[in-house]
A and B are shown apart, each in its own frame.
Chain A
Amino acid sequence: MKKAFWLAGAMALALAQPATAADSVKIGFVSTFSGPTAVIGNDMRNSFELALDHLGRKIDGKPVEVIYEDDQQKPDVGKQKTEKLVQSDKVDFIVGYIWSNVLLASLKTAVDSKTFLISANAGPSQLAGELCSPYVFSTSWQNDQTPQAVGTYMNQKGVKSVFLIGPNYAAGKDMLAGVKSTFKGEVVGEEYTVWPSQLDFSAELTKAKNSKAESIFVFYPGAAGVQFLNQYAQAGIKQQIPLYTAFTIDELSLPLQKDNALGVPGAQQWVNDLPNEENKKFVADYRKKYPGLRPTFYGAQSYDAANLINSAVVAVKGDLTKKDAMKAEMEKVNFKSVRGPFKYGNNHIPVQNFYLQDVVKDADGQLSLKTVATIVKDDQDRFHDKCAMK
């Protein structure tokens, strides 16, 4: 009996906690912090922390509390962590999600509880279309948009045929579909590999080589991209069939890809050398705060997410219960993005430019990414019609 009394007391105390903590802005951050892709999660966290530094660690005068959760790149774990953040931590915002399949598994939990969710990377087509929600915003893109830009670039280059290779999960399918939607030449083959466990691409590369395609398009984020480029070069295909990529070469994978990445074009909505003031400050301060590291597009999107949250909270003067006003404010994009100006479509996916990026050796002899040209201007994703929000 006595035990039950103490237990009840402890539970009451635990329940009382959120009420006293209401004077802070609580943010749950779900990303991958363990396993081979932890470097991506770390970069997102680094950039988010840098953004908070720039905001003076306060949003509208309130201290910010960030709870980082590791989804282990697994949809079921991501869903559990999201439930924990929403139900027991009672966060005001959820940010993060690298992987489309993890985001899709976690989405309902956030939306049902009317917690704002800001995807700082994953952009599955469903999120832009039938699963769009007033409570969900993206600071990245819809998955198809970047490969669509690559397809457009391939048309500009006069490429006649392509062989597509990508991983068999939500984003992989979106990516290949994206290329197919803009590429005007012939798609001679299409291969999906087991994700994320398959890392040897010999069978797929052999098929690509034998298909007599004029080019290969590939999407492999993280370490898998390093392995793909390695094997592509070792098989001697680099000299025969040029490669086009999306999300395969970034500042995280470049130090491992080295010369294999030279001359392989890709597209991106953010590149480290974009010439706006916010971006220069972001890149310079990132390299100062984390010596030896370089920011990536993943980080840039997290940085924007922090500023998007800031704009919303400032607009309602810290009254986090005014969800409609916060939503309206976020739709205006009332902050300076490191990618330069963008606006939101009806489905809360950015309408933005996509740039052609190339791999170059920079002043200190290290490989870096460089913006070469603008491929598409003010691009809106092709699923916004399917979104119920108008």
Chain B
Amino acid sequence: MYLVVEQLLNGLQFGLLLFLLAAGLTLVFGIMDFVNLAHGSLYMMGAYFAATFVAWTGSFVLGALMALGATLLLGIALEYAALRHLYGRDHLDQVLATFGLILFFNDAVRLIWGPAGLALPLPVWLTVPVQIIPGVYYPAYRLMIIVVALAVAALLYLVVMRTRVGMLIRAGASNREMIGALGINIKLLFTLVFGLGAALAGLAGLMQAPILTVQIGMGENILILAFVIIVIGGIGSIRGAFMAAVFVGIIDTMGRAFLPDLLRKVLSGAAASTAAPALSSMLIYLLMAIILVLRPEGLFPVAKR
């Protein structure tokens, strides 16, 4: 029983982290109609900034906040210098250009920080496991990821659903020519949205850094999951990204946790241990395939036109 609770928490934590990444991606993809493969690079930059600033300041919280600001600025600079020239082009051009950016960022990081990667150590107060219910201990830092991601989700929901900027963002998602015609400075709006997306990616990166290591190319594997999530959730939908991310996180973790034991009941031990990881990593793609068949627009599609 405790095992299930803990694994659920593991899944929730993983899912919420994926949400941070997917939310930024779905903002940019859904609203600006821009395919940004370099979203994972911004995630990586967030982690590198955090490792650097935490080492400089000696404070985890301060370093993390500085890294968040740095990725926001980097995102805005990137949009201003390179990406805004690509909005009118078709998706294939955008894929090519942002793929180029991945290579650029990877080599830039190699030049600046070297090939070996960095470590982002946690402050002592975040390394102790916390007792959440009697008998169940959970790593404090992972608990903090859950809290931070939930707070960001709530904030994002309020901004998008309750503010004027949010209204424009939603209007932009449905029909961008129209809000341009209404006299809204769409260029500025897009720059801000892209900066927000970058900051979310940076936040995901810096939150994940102490669990994983900070290394070149760390955004590439996880970006695929983020794309899966926005496809499942419905492109451009924050709510969809949230639900799908939690879904994917829990399914992935539960698959890894319980599939091997289930398979061992039908298969021989060796075959089961080999097949289980392969199968469990396929689970989310299976889920995506099923959802694409049943609801090609995703679970929570944004109404178009």
Q: Which residues of A contact B (CB under 8 A)?
A: 35-36, 38-39, 42, 168, 173, 190-194, 197-200, 202-204, 206-207, 210, 223, 226-227, 230-231, 233-236, 252, 255-258
Binds A, one of B84-92, B179-187, B215-223: B215-223
How distant is the Cα of A28 from the Cα of B201 in the complex, in angstroms? Answer: 41
B115 at the interface (CB under 8 A from A): yes
> Could you say which of A36, A42, A193, A230 contacts B277, with CB atoms under 8 Å apart?
A193
Main secondary structure of the interface of A (DSSP, over half): helix
How distant is the Cα of A168 from the Cα of B221 in the complex, in angstroms? Answer: 17
| Tally of chain B residues near chain A (CB < 8 A) | 43
Binds A, one of B5-13, B73-81, B163-171: B5-13
Q: What is the minimal beta-carbon distance from B18 to any residue of chain A, in angstroms?
A: 11
In the complex, are the beta carbons of A223 and B256 less than 8 A apart?
Answer: no
Which chain A residues border B217 with CB–CB below 8 Å?
35-36
**Which parts of B94-139 form the interface with A (CB within 8 Å)?**
115-119, 121-122, 127-129, 137, 139
B211 at the interface (CB under 8 A from A): yes
Main secondary structure of the interface of B (DSSP, over half): helix
B3 at the interface (CB under 8 A from A): yes
Interface CB pairs A-B, < 8 A, 12 = A36-B215, A36-B218, A190-B273, A198-B256, A199-B212, A202-B10, A202-B142, A202-B253, A206-B10, A210-B6, A226-B117, A256-B116
In the complex, are the beta carbons of B115 and A236 less than 8 A apart?
Answer: no
How distant is the Cα of A207 from the Cα of B261 in the complex, in angstroms? Answer: 11
In the complex, are the beta carbons of B213 and A200 less than 8 A apart?
Answer: no
In the complex, are the beta carbons of A227 and B10 less than 8 A apart?
Answer: no
Residues A256 and B274 in contact in the complex (CB < 8 Å), given A203-B257, A235-B139: no
Can you list, as one digit per residue, whether each of B202-233 has a CB less than 8 Å from chain A (1) or not (0)? 00000000111101111001000000000000
Name the residue on B nearest A226 (C-beta).
B213
Nearest 4 CB-CB pairs, A to B? A236-B129, A202-B10, A203-B257, A168-B277
B276 at the interface (CB under 8 A from A): yes
Q: What is the minimal beta-carbon distance from B228 to any residue of chain A, in angstroms?
A: 13
Which chain B residues border A194 with CB–CB below 8 Å?
277-278, 280-281
How distant is the Cα of A207 from the Cα of B127 in the complex, in angstroms? Answer: 19
Which chain B residues border A227 with CB–CB below 8 Å?
211-213
Q: What is the minimal beta-carbon distance from B270 to any residue of chain A, in angstroms?
A: 8
Name the residue on B nearest A38 (C-beta).
B115
How distant is the Cα of A235 from the Cα of B210 in the complex, in angstroms? Answer: 12
Q: What is the minimal beta-carbon distance from B20 to any residue of chain A, in angstroms?
A: 14
Q: What is the minimal beta-carbon distance from A31 to any residue of chain B, in angstroms?
A: 13
Which chain A residues border B128 with CB–CB below 8 Å?
236
In the complex, are the beta carbons of A191 and B260 less than 8 A apart?
Answer: yes
Which chain B residues border A39 with CB–CB below 8 Å?
115-117
Name the residue on A nearest B130 (C-beta).
A236
How distant is the Cα of A236 from the Cα of B136 in the complex, in angstroms? Answer: 12
**Which parts of B269-303 form the interface with A (CB within 8 Å)?**
269, 273-274, 276-278, 280-281
Q: What is the minimal beta-carbon distance from A389 to any residue of chain B, in angstroms?
A: 28
> Could you say which of B11, B216, B273 contacts A192, with CB atoms under 8 Å apart?
B273
In the complex, are the beta carbons of B117 and A36 less than 8 A apart?
Answer: yes
